[in-house]
Structure 1
Amino acid sequence: MEPVTESTPASAPTPASAQAPAEAPAPVTAEDVAAFRRFNRYFTRRIGALDDHYLGQNRPLGEARLLFEIGDGVSLRELRGRLALDAGYLSRMAKSLEAQGLVRLTVPPHDTRLRLIELTDAGRVEVEEQHRRSNALAAGLLATLTTPQRAELTHALATTRRLLRLAGITVTLVDGAAEDARACLDAYAADIDARFPEGFDKTDLVRPEEVTGDAGAFFVAYEEGRPVACGALRTLEPGVGEIRHVWVHPDARRLGLARRVLTELELAAVEHEFTVVRLDTHAALTEAQAMYRACGYAEIPAYVDHVYADHWFEKRLGDGG
């Protein structure tokens, strides 16, 4: 059962009897890498990222970005995770900004291991000016384009951001009893409990031993260290696997992540020598039904009596036997 899927429709699927299992992405070509690096070089130069006085202010991009990220105040630990910065480098930047009177570093009384950073009045003034200059730079770049060209660029930038986010997410096989696995299942249960008219009973969740080792598999997707999606595979009967609990966090939806998790589950099914995978879904999850059909799953009669199931699907792996 899966509460969130992709928003973009696919062409009509091949009949399930002819479906091959999902395949891992093809190797990255030298042309792909060259195009990516060429864009990076152009963009960083065009926005002035290489200038020690970013946006004409008296600081490099690193310090300017740090000021922006502080917002209403945050811990250095959270900033380190958010920006993927070395702890020593972040500490040096924070001390430099403190010496300039732009930030204030404090230790909260409830946790002396934390260091909090917040903007001073002077820091807030600088960030406001940073916003003004950034907006002016963007407006200057866009001003020479026609309205249709701006719309095309805006759409392309949204697509680029979506795909780069997806590229940065890792999908990892974990033990079914792992903390992140159970946390994802708790979030899944809360999500569908709110969506199902009848609610959802957490006793319906898979047990750790059903999705670990020879019995099955459990995948967690991570974005910058944070679990944002999951999916489970368990043995239904000899040669047949069942996919359960494919879930994506609201903040990571519409990226294509559900299909990514589904691909990993199908590959795991092949490794477990399943020739068929099945799943069921609730009538309320119309987007899930659409995704499964687009991914080659055919609707079949009920294969199990499941209180939350209204639709049942199957996909044959390999040549379909």
Structure 2
Amino acid sequence: MSITVPTAQAWNVGLALVGSTAATDLLRDYYTEVSNRYHQLHLGRPSTPREIEEGLAAAPSDDLAPPTGLFLLARHGDDPAGCVGLRILDPYTAELTRMFVRPALRGLGGGARLLVAAESLARDLGAERIVLDTRLDLVEARALYLRHGYVEIPAYHDGTYAEIFYERRLPSSSNKK
């Protein structure tokens, strides 16, 4: 029996066009995973291909491009491996969204690299805080946010799938660690 273990390749995170092939593929993988988990939990079955397509159409990521947002893509070695979006809510608040690392590469630091890069960009844009929403069943994401200083806050919108909300106050650029 042989087990394939991801190698200790470097993570690289950078800005990407949300409509690029790599971004589109990662966003499809992200949506498929969160949709399947939701359907499995609530309906006892995975999502159908039609449900995936309808969900992607209903929740486009077009706003994760200037002037309303930014999109980051993480590569593990040369391979697209994760992503995160930043949406500008107001001059002092950015929203983290579409946070995803491919399952085979989880636990290797990609999520942390994406968070640090997103926080740095948000700070550069003048944001003083980052907010996000997630679902209670996305326990890996919730643990990542808590490990990185995010705290639970009251709901800031009433989205259908938003069950828990977090915030992280960003240190000013002059206080960067």
TM-score, normalised on structure 2?
0.80
Indicate if the aligned counterparts of 1:281 and 1:309 stay in contact, CA closer than 8 A: yes
Indicate if the aligned counterparts of 1:185 and 1:205 stay in contact, CA closer than 8 A: no
- Superposed CA deviations along residues 53-95 of structure 1, whole A, max 9, x for unmatched, are xxxxxxxxxxxxxxxxxxxxxxxxxxxxxxxxxxxxxxxxxxx
Do residues 289 (structure 1) and 120 (structure 2) align? no
- Superposed CA deviations along residues 217-261 of structure 1, whole A, max 9, x for unmatched, are 111112332211000001122311100011011221110111110
Indicate if the aligned counterparts of 1:214 and 1:272 stay in contact, CA closer than 8 A: no
Query: Which of the two has greater strand per residue?
Result: 2
Q: Distance in 1 between matches of 2:57 and 2:136?
A: 20
Aligned to 1:299: 152
Aligned positions of 1:240-279 closer than 5 A: 240-279=93-132
Indicate if the aligned counterparts of 2:91 and 2:126 stay in contact, CA closer than 8 A: no
The residue type paired with residue 61 of structure 2 is R
Q: Distance in 2 between matches of 1:220 and 1:264?
A: 10
Indicate if the aligned counterparts of 2:11 and 2:113 stay in contact, CA closer than 8 A: no
Q: Distance in 1 between matches of 2:153 and 2:37?
A: 24
Do residues 190 (structure 1) and 32 (structure 2) align? yes
Q: Distance in 2 between matches of 1:284 and 1:180?
A: 27
Aligned to 1:313: 166
- Match among 151, 170, 175 for residue 17 of structure 2: 175
Q: What secondary structure sits across from 1:214 in the alignment?
A: coil
Aligned to 1:46: none
- Superposed CA deviations along residues 3-62 of structure 1, whole A, max 9, x for unmatched, are xxxxxxxxxxxxxxxxxxxxxxxxxxxxxxxxxxxxxxxxxxxxxxxxxxxxxxxxxxxx
Cα offset, 1:281, TM superposition: 0.8
| RMSD between superposed Cα atoms in Å | 2.0
The residue type paired with residue 232 of structure 1 is G
Identity across the alignment (%): 29
Aligned to 2:86: 233
Do residues 222 (structure 1) and 78 (structure 2) align? no
Indicate if the aligned counterparts of 1:231 and 1:244 stay in contact, CA closer than 8 A: yes
Indicate if the aligned counterparts of 1:240 and 1:275 stay in contact, CA closer than 8 A: yes
- Superposed CA deviations along residues 241-298 of structure 1, whole A, max 9, x for unmatched, are 1000110112211101111101111011011111111001101011211211111111
Q: Distance in 2 between matches of 1:179 and 1:293?
A: 31
Cα offset, 1:315, TM superposition: 0.9
Cα offset, 1:206, TM superposition: 4.5
Pick closer, same or farther for the CA change 1:206–1:235 going to 2, 3 Å: farther
Indicate if the aligned counterparts of 1:216 and 1:272 stay in contact, CA closer than 8 A: no
Please say which structure displays the higher CA radius of gyration. Answer: 1
The residue type paired with residue 202 of structure 1 is L
Aligned to 2:61: 207
Q: What secondary structure sits across from 2:161 in the alignment?
A: coil
Q: Give the number of equivalent residue pairs.
A: 156
Ranges in structure 1 where 5+ consecutive residues have no aligned partner: 1-157
Aligned to 1:154: none
User: Higher RCO, 1 or 2 (CA under 8 Å, sep at least 6)?
Assistant: 1
Q: Distance in 1 between matches of 2:58 and 2:93?
A: 20
The residue type paired with residue 91 of structure 2 is P
Query: Which of the two has greater helix per residue?
Result: 1
Indicate if the aligned counterparts of 1:176 and 1:182 stay in contact, CA closer than 8 A: yes
Aligned to 2:175: none
Ranges in structure 2 where 5+ consecutive residues have no aligned partner: 173-177
Q: Distance in 2 between matches of 1:279 and 1:191?
A: 18
